[in-house]
Structure formats: C-alpha cells, structure tokens
Amino acid sequence: MLKGKKILLAVTGSIAAYKTASLTRLLIKAGAEVQIVMTDAATKFITPLTLSTLSKRSVYSSVTSEEGWNNHVELGLWADAMLVAPATANTLAAMANGFCNNMVLATYLSSRCPVFFAPAMDLDMFTHPATLANIDKLKSYGNILIDAEEGELASGLVGKGRMAEPEHIVEALELHFMQQGPQPLKGLKAILTSGPTVEAIDPVRYITNHSTGKMGTAIADTLAKLGAEVTLISGPVKVKPKHPAVKIIDVKSAQEMYEAAISAFPQAHIAVLAAAVADYTPENVACEKIKKKDGDPMRIDLCRTKDIAQELGKIKTEQQCMVGFALETQNFRKNASKKLEKKNFDFIVLNSLRDKGAGFGHDTNKVTFIDRQLEIEEHELKSKLEVAEDIAAKICKMLQKKAENAQELTAQL
C-alpha cells in the first residue's frame, strides 16, 4: 500500500526519536520515498547523518543552510502524507496553535496532504488537560492521531505515552492508503476461506498442512480496499488482515470451515476459496492422549471431509463469482481444468510447488489463471499483495460481464 508513496517524516526532540531509524527502514522496505525534516532538538537524540543514510536523501533541520533556502513549501506540496513522529508535547502545542519557529512547523503549515502525528512523552505530560486539548484541536483540523501506547517510559513510570511502535505506525499509514481510491466492489459481499485446517487425532495430536494464510489475507485486504464487505473464514494463522472492514471467523477443522462457508455463501456476491482444507480427517478422535506402544505401529483410520468448493458450486447462482485455488505437483493445467467444471468455479488460480518462491510460506507467488472458456493468463513471480490485486481485477471483470449478460437476458425477455 505504500509503494511509490511520498512520506514526509518530521522528527522532534524526544528520546523516542531513536525509533525513527527503524521506522525509516520499514517505510523504505514498504516501497515508500521518505524525506526527513527534524527540529534542532531532535538532532541531539539521533543524527541527521543516520537518517540521511537510511532514507538516501538529505535531511533538513533548518529553514536555511549553507546551500541556501530549504524549501518547506515545496516539501509540503511534494508529500502524499506527512508524519510527525515522535510528536512532543511542545510540538503538539505549536502545531495546534499555528506557531512557526522551526523547519518542522514551517513544513507542517505548508502541507496540503494528510498529516499523521504520533505523540511521545511522559505519562503526566500526556494526560495533562492542555495536551489532551491540543490533540483534540489537531484532530479537529483533520490531522490523524496515531495514539500513544502503554508501557515503561523514560522516567521509569509505567503508563500511556510511548510513541507507537514503528510497525504500528506503518500499519496506520498502510490502512489510510488502503482506504483511498476507487471502490468498484462497494455494496457487494465477499466470503473468503484461508489458511490450513486442523484435524484432531486426540487432545494432543492433529493433522494439518503448511498453509500460512498469507495469500488469503492479502486477498481479503484487497477486496475490502475495493469496497467489498469481506468475511474471512480462517484456519489457525498468525497473519491477520489489516483492513478494519474485514470480518474474521476463526475455525479449526474442515467441518467448522464448511459450516461457516455454507452459512455465509448464499448472501455473498463473491467467494474466494483459498484455504488449504484437509481432504481427510480421523474417523474417530480419541478422548485421551493415545499412548505409544513399543514396537507397535500407530494406525489412524481416515474419512473424507466435505468438499467445500464442490458443495458451494452446487448452490452457486449465475450472478455469483466463485474463485478456486489449485496447488498441483504434476499435470498442472489438466488437473486445474477438471476442477473448474467439477466445482463450478468461474476461474481458478493455479500455482505449483515447483516454482521457486511460490506456494506455502513465501511472501511471493507465481500463478496462472484459467477460466471457464479455458483462457489462460500466466503471471510472473510477484508479491502476494500484487497477486491479490490481479485476482481482484479478474473478479471485477467477471462481475461486470455477468451484469452485462443479465441485462441482455432481461432485454430479450
């Protein structure tokens, strides 16, 4: 979400300024361009040289320098977002009341972009009525608060006042940009299955797979960004969607995932089945831990789980768009094409474990789309977020085509 975005990072004089080194690296890693301005006090906590090296840009701490005028007006117009982090009590008061006696404040008053601020100060300073009033005033101007977090403070007190962690600040910026732009799926409902399922053998052991849910989470965030009301039915995963409009239903077993999907599907316009659902589950689950016996093999009788995609395909309407995934190790396209017909998918996303950087656990994927007309779209290795955007674009085209076909049918009748 931050790729190509211009972020103006304003650093002020707090001990939390040391965190801006990590923050800068995270922003750069996310693909953003970062320009840094500092107050003179901030340079006492972290050097401009450090931040210049990390951002690969000159850092400005004064309106004038040996090179001449550092154009704060130009910087304010350049940025897609300005981020004041850390924002001290003094800086908050100055911003709230229009003071302009340093580079940060001059740039703030010249900015036309959204301005985020992440307070950092001691507990009593943060909770003082004057500080809270300044925060409220800044919010009333349309500035966006990235709230302070609780924990141990520089004074030794424990409470609220710590600057938000760099990862949380980046997430706040990502969320902002995620909610911008066109929303072609606004008003539509989408369900999505993601992650692995866990099939219990006994209270201790279970059968599962290597799915991390990264691909499904990326799709959920992307569909929500485009305006869809998304319900994510997820097996046990660590990665969670960032978009607040994504409703999460946590499940464990294939049966639980089936029940959640079959309940939500009739109201959905879009269904993306990205979960790695177990094909088999133990026929009998032991109530107590199964004890091992020396020399004896352990045998578990398995039975088939419900084929979620196939069951949904039976009740799918012409106006619903259903997308499946196929992870194959051989006869890739032949097997994927069979699934299209058998499970009534509109298109299928094929990936192979043989492709380097694709499959479970990676942040990248290499996929091929095959639709009902057996048209094939091959995509190069991309980040999973970029793959999710490709999938969402294909869904939008499919829905548009379905709408046009419905209009033609209505006209004929």
Q: List residues with catalytic annotation.
A: 209
Is 326 in contact with 335 (CB distance < 8 Å)?
A: yes
The answer to whether 325 is a known ligand-binding residue is yes
Is 120 in contact with 161 (CB distance < 8 Å)?
A: yes
- The 10 Å Cβ neighbour count of residue 311 is 15
* β-strands 81-87, 347-352 pairing: unpaired
The answer to whether 289 is a known ligand-binding residue is yes
The answer to whether 279 is a known ligand-binding residue is yes
- The 10 Å Cβ neighbour count of residue 354 is 12
The enclosing H or E element of 127 equals: helix 123-127
Q: Is 355 left (phi over 0), alpha (psi -120 to 50) or beta?
A: beta
> Cβ-count burial of 301 within 10 angstroms (0-12 exposed, 13-18 middle, 19+ buried)?
exposed
The answer to whether 343 is a known ligand-binding residue is yes
The answer to whether 366 is a known ligand-binding residue is no
Q: How far apart are CA 143 and CA 91, in angstroms?
A: 14
Is 198 in contact with 182 (CB distance < 8 Å)?
A: no
Residue ranges for the known binding site are 279, 289, 325, 339, 343
Which residues fall in the annotated binding site for CTP? 279, 289, 325, 339, 343
